Amino acid sequence: MVFVLVLCWSCKPFENPIDRYTVFIHLPAEPDTLNPITSTDAYSSRINSHIYESLLKRNLDTLELEDCLADRWEIGLNKKYFTFYLKKGVLWSDGIEFTADDVVYSYQKIMDPLTASAPLKVYYKDIIECIKIDKYTVRFTYAEPFFLALEFCGMMPIVPKHIFDDDTDFNTHRNNRHPIGTGPYKFSRWRTSSMIELVTNELYREEHPAIKRVVYRIIQESNVALQMLKKGDLDVMTLRDIQWARQTNSKRFNEKFYKLKYFTPGYNYIGWNSQREFFSDRRVRQAMAMLINREEILEKLLFGNGRVVTGTFYIFSKYYSDDIEPLPYNPQRAKELLEESGWAAGRDGFLQKDGKRFSFTFTISSGSKFAERLATILKEDFSKVGIEMNVERYEWAVFIQRIQKKEFDATSLAWSLGYSSDPYQLWHSSQIEGGSNFCSFSNKEADKIIETARQEFNDERRIALYRRFNQIIHEEQPYTFLFCNPALAVVSRRFTNVNVHTMGLDITKWGIADSK
């Protein structure tokens, strides 16, 4: 039985000594899988980052690529050949040695048509072959140069061949819930709808973290999670904006917790499914954007935490276009655009076209308080111009399935981005089926820009290409881009060396405060 600190304020000693070296982290939703090749949500990625490793990794602060499972690498003729020399003696957490066979196998599983890895496949589709040179050497060969090839080869998810290479379906393999990796922590147990536990990987080749045990507590209700945090049953959680602004400002709270605010790549948005007749006309999508008062929503729902964005790139990226202004909140102009596209008020006050009422469904995750409150605001504002909006709520797993199958009119979601930029997966028309182009955006010029930019190694020319791409997206409005929101993290002060890196927080660097 695990005993935890019940009254954080009183600094009651831990009854179970291991709890002093345990970090209890809030997880708002349960991941579907811990297979890094087939997982697509941020929660599984967060956990997998401590279990699995790749050939290279990013420096937490400089963002430069560094060695990880590979000692060194070489880039060959015409930037088409990438050879990685693996570290020797690296062990999977079950004691089997990591070799080039694992790398080749992982690549093959990513590209296997039967593997549910569509978002990954797009980044490796131009690889001609991935071959084993010897036990500790592997080479990737590209058909065409790709400016992010080193990053994607070097940071490709790798799974143990000896575990997965059997007759079991890779997508439903038992080890998708019992992962075996080479990282600083190894999987311990998973209690469905309750918790996921990791413990120190004793076979890890480098210095072990001071934190010996990581427990992710699955709590969907954020107010319940905050109360558990205050009692001492959680050490780390990401706050909602109202919790940050109004519920965690007492002197007592700040004596016990660090409050850390920082931006990571990502944004939230409203997506319009252009396959649906309501949103197939870009004038309608522009009108919908002009009916949304983003500045007011930012203040009302997020207490001003965030920044209105206009494009798909990270706001601090060199590819983001600061000169593009968001479409203004302008209901009158929105009405004009709707009239231009054939929508006129009927006798009942609702907009109609060809005898059909403008009535659409806004599909959201039932666990998102932001989406719920946003839907309330949108429903009221749209009704003022004669648009009927219905709201459908689904549990997360069902919600994502509906979005992927394009069984929605409009939705609200967020993207967590990488630190490099390639819009192919989200915006190329080839990704409408099987990729992440959920809103079915299709534009020939945009496709050409994306394809050209992938083979452009000159920064200035690539920036120019992406600036034009940003303008196209702005004009077409497949998304109404909302905000880039900061992470609002809280960490118990019983940990030391809690630093905010360029890439955020890293529990493997934390220490344990002296108990008194």
120 burial level (CB within 10 Å; 0-12, 13-18, 19+)? buried
Structural class in CATH, domain 8-28+184-263+487-512: alpha beta
Domain ranges of the chain: 8-28+184-263+487-512, 42-172, 266-484
Cβ count within 10 A of residue 468: 14
What is the C-alpha to C-alpha distance for residues 401 and 178, in angstroms, rounded to an integer? 24
What is the C-alpha to C-alpha distance for residues 410 and 402, in angstroms, rounded to an integer? 11
Task: Dig out the tokens for 201 from the structure.
Answer: 């990987």
- String of DSSP letters for 357-389: E-EEEEEEETT-HHHHHHHHHHHHHHHTTT-EE
Query: If phi over 0 gives left and psi between -120 and 50 gives alpha, with beta otherwise, what is residue 477?
Result: left
pLDDT score, position 418: 79
Report the SS3 class of residue 447: helix
What is the C-alpha to C-alpha distance for residues 60 and 53, in angstroms, rounded to an integer? 15
What is the C-alpha to C-alpha distance for residues 256 and 276, in angstroms, rounded to an integer? 51
What is the C-alpha to C-alpha distance for residues 324 and 337, in angstroms, rounded to an integer? 20
Task: Dig out the tokens for 456 from the structure.
Answer: 């452009």
pLDDT score, position 416: 83
Give long-range contacts, CB 8 A cutoff, 24+ apart: 244-252.
Answer: 244/303, 244/305, 244/488, 245/303, 245/305, 246/303, 248/490, 252/9
Spatial CB neighbours of 444, under 8 Å, sequence gap ≥ 6: none
Please give the model's pTM, rounded to 2 decimal places.
Answer: 0.80
Task: Dig out the tokens for 392 from the structure.
Answer: 């459908």
Q: Would you say 390 and 359 are in contact if contact means Cβ atoms under 8 Å apart?
A: yes
| DSSP bridge pairs for 414 | 268
pLDDT score, position 6: 30
Q: Would you say 201 and 183 are in contact if contact means Cβ atoms under 8 Å apart?
A: yes
**β-bridge pairing 127-134 and 137-142:** antiparallel
Rounded mean pLDDT for each run of 10 residues along the chain, 516 residues in total: 30 62 95 93 92 96 95 93 98 98 98 92 92 98 94 96 94 96 98 97 97 96 96 96 94 96 93 96 98 96 93 92 96 97 93 95 92 96 97 92 95 88 92 91 97 93 96 98 95 97 94 80
For residue 229, the Cα-to-chain-centroid distance in whole angstroms is 24
The CATH T-level fold of domain 266-484 is: Dipeptide-binding Protein; domain 3 (3.10.105)
What is the C-alpha to C-alpha distance for residues 151 and 178, in angstroms, rounded to an integer? 27
**Phi then psi for 398, rounded to 5 degrees?**
-70, -40
What is the C-alpha to C-alpha distance for residues 84 and 55, in angstroms, rounded to an integer? 8
What is the C-alpha to C-alpha distance for residues 461 and 295, in angstroms, rounded to an integer? 33
pLDDT score, position 3: 26
**β-bridge pairing 22-27 and 213-218:** parallel
For residue 153, the Cα-to-chain-centroid distance in whole angstroms is 19
The yes or no reply on domain 42-172 and CATH 3.40.50.300 is: no
Listed residue (430, 414, 399) closest to 479, CA to CA: 414
| DSSP bridge pairs for 512 | 495
Instruction: Give the CA dihedral 70, 71, 77, 78, nearest 10 degrees.
Output: 60
The 8-class DSSP code of residue 390 comes to E
pLDDT score, position 167: 85
What's the first-to-final CA gap in the chain, in angstroms? 24
pLDDT score, position 4: 30
Residue 332, H or E segment: helix 331-340
Half-sphere exposure of 236 (CA within 13 A, CB side): 16
